[in-house]
Chain A
Amino acid sequence: MTTQLPPGMNIETVDDKIMTLNVGPQHPGSGHMRLIIKVDGDYIVSCDPDPGYVHRGEEKMAEYRNYIQNIPHLERPVIHDSSNILYPYCLGVEELLGIEVPERAKYIRVIAAELNRCIYILYWLAIYGIFLGHSTMFMWPAGDRELFIDLLEAMSGARVTHAYLVPGGVRNDLPSNFEERCLRQVEYFEKRLKEYEAVFYQNPLLKARTEGSGILSRTDAIRLGTTGSVLRASGVDFDVRKKEPYDVYENLDFQTIVMKEGDSYARSRVPYLEMFESCRIIKDALRKMPKSGSVRTKLKPNPKGGNDEVYRRIESGRGAIGYYIVSNNRPEPYRVKISVGSFRNLICMPYLLKGEKLGNMPAVYWGLNYWPVEADR
Chain B
Amino acid sequence: MNSGIEKDVEAKDTTEEHSDNSENTKSDSMSKGDAKKFYEEKGLDLSPDVPVKPKPIPTFEKSLADKISSKFGDKLRVDYVRADRIRVTTKREDIIDVAKFIRDELKYDHAESVSGVDYPDSSEIEVIYHLGSYTDEKLGRQIFALATRVPREDIPNPGSDATRTPSLRDVFYSVEFHERECFEMFGVYFEGHPDMRRLLLPEDWADIPPFRKDFKIKGR
Contacts and interface: CB of A to CB of B under 8 A. Distances in A.
Nearest to A57: B210
Interface string A42-63: 0000000011100101011100
Nearest to A95: B82
A308 interface: yes
B200 A344 contact: no
A1 interface: yes
Interface in A93-119: 96-98
21 contacts: A1-B197, A7-B184, A8-B203, A8-B205, A69-B17, A71-B14, A96-B50, A223-B109, A224-B173, A225-B110, A301-B44, A302-B3, A305-B49, A305-B50, A311-B113, A322-B130, A334-B117, A335-B115, A337-B113, A337-B115, A346-B177
A100 B159 CA distance: 45
Nearest to B113: A339
Contacts of B49: 97-98, 300, 303-306
A98 B50 CA distance: 6
A64 B218 CA distance: 11
B200 A302 contact: no
A302 B9 contact: yes
Interface residues of B, number: 67
Q: Chain A interface residue count: which class?
A: 35 or more
A311 B220 contact: no
A75 interface: no
A17 to B, nearest CB: 24
A322 B113 contact: yes
Interface stretch (B62-70, B89-97, B138-146, B148-156): B138-146
Interface string A295-317: 00011111111101101010000
Contacts of B141: 243-244
A167 B128 CA distance: 25
B10 A298 contact: yes
A225 B172 contact: yes
B109 A347 contact: no
A35 interface: no
Contact of A300 (B46, B130, B178): B46
Interface in A334-361: 334-335, 337, 339, 343-344, 346-347
B6 interface: yes
B51 interface: yes
A244 B84 CA distance: 9
Contacts of B200: 51-52, 55, 376
Nearest to A72: B14
Interface centre among B13, B135, B205 (most CB of A within 10 A): B13
Contact of B13 (A7, A8, A69, A376): A69
Contacts of B118: 335
Given A52-B201, A223-B174, 9 more contacts: A1-B197, A9-B203, A222-B135, A225-B175, A298-B9, A298-B10, A304-B49, A344-B177, A347-B177
Contacts of A303: 49
A272 B65 CA distance: 40
B60 interface: no
Interface in B178-206: 178, 181, 183-184, 196-205
Interface of A: 1, 6-10, 50-52, 55, 57, 59-61, 64-66, 68-69, 71-72, 96-98, 163, 222-226, 231, 236, 238, 243-244, 298-306, 308-309, 311, 313, 320, 322, 324, 326, 331-332, 334-335, 337, 339, 343-344, 346-347, 376
B46 A7 contact: no
A224 B10 CA distance: 44
B13 A64 contact: no
A313 B143 CA distance: 10
Contact of B112 (A68, A97, A309, A320): A320
Contacts of A334: 117
Contacts of A226: 174
A192 B111 CA distance: 39
B4 interface: yes
Contacts of A320: 112
A333 B36 CA distance: 25
B211 A60 contact: yes
B174 A300 contact: no
A6 B173 contact: no
Interface string B206-220: 000011000101001
Given A225-B173, A332-B18, A347-B174, A68 B9 contact: yes
Contacts of B109: 222-223
Contact of A306 (B50, B140, B175, B183): B50
B85 interface: yes
Interface string B28-46: 0000000000010001111
Contacts of A339: 112-113, 115, 130, 178
Interface in B103-139: 109-113, 115, 117-118, 128, 130, 134-135
B153 to A, nearest CB: 16
B4 A302 contact: yes
